[in-house]
């Protein structure tokens, strides 16, 4: 009976050692897997932080260029125009150019450029219809060209 108790006790001890799964090899493997998991998570966080930093840097450059272009455009003198309609057209063209400068998406920029082209056509048509003078038309178009050139230069595009 003593032998039977010894065998049962020995079997229980061996079973508990095997059930623990704490052999040195298993501990090393678990530690290695945990370290690899932590390294992967750290690499992912670093990549995300880099993406955020790049996006923030790009936004800073964009808004810096917008501010420089707005400042440059504000220095362009509005031409002396003969007719009130000419003054309204010059203001409308200037507003559209500023809208283009401040555009932050391709869609907004494209819309603004389309509106600028339409406004320039409208100015030419008003001159053909003798609603504004040729001198006013030329002055308005030059004013628009000067604004665009100043904005591009300030933003480093020329």
Q: What is the pTM of this model?
A: 0.68
What is the distance, to the nearest Å, from the Cα of residue 42 to the centroid of all Cα atoms in its chain? Answer: 25
- Per-residue confidence at 141, pLDDT binned at 50, 70, 90? very high
User: pLDDT for 48-69, tens place per residue?
Assistant: 777 777 777 777 788 888 888 9
Locate tokens 């002055």: which residue?
Answer: 139
Locate tokens 């993406």: which residue?
Answer: 51
Nearest to 93 by CA among 20, 148, 152, 34: 148
pLDDT for position 28: 72
Q: Decide if 76 contacts 98 (C-beta within 8 A).
A: no
Q: Which of 31-35, 64-68, 97-101, 142-146 has the lowest mean pLDDT?
A: 31-35
Burial zone of 124 (CB within 10 Å; 0-12 exposed, 13-18 middle, 19+ buried): middle
Alpha-carbon torsion (61, 66, 69, 70), positive or negative? negative
What is the pLDDT averaged over residues 85-107? 95
**Does residue 79 carry a pLDDT above 70?**
yes
pLDDT for position 2: 59
Triad 23, 25, 28: Cα angle to 5°: 110
């Amino acid at each position: 009976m003593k032998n039977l108790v010894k065998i049962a006790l020995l079997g229980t001890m061996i079973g508990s050692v095997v059930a623990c799964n704490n052999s040195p090899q298993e501990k090393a493997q678990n530690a290695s897997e945990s370290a690899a998991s932590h390294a992967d998570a750290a690499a992912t966080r670093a990549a995300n932080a880099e993406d955020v930093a790049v996006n923030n840097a790009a936004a800073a450059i964009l808004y810096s260029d917008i501010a420089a272009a707005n400042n440059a455009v504000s220095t362009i003198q509005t031409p002396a125009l003969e007719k009130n309609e000419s003054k309204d057209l010059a203001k409308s063209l200037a507003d559209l150019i500023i809208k283009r400068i401040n555009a932050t998406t391709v869609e907004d920029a494209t819309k603004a450029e389309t509106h600028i082209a339409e406004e320039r056509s409208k100015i030419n048509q008003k001159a053909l219809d003798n609603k504004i003078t040729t001198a006013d038309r030329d002055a308005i178009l030059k004013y628009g060209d000067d604004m665009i050139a100043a904005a591009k230069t300030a933003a480093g595009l020329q």
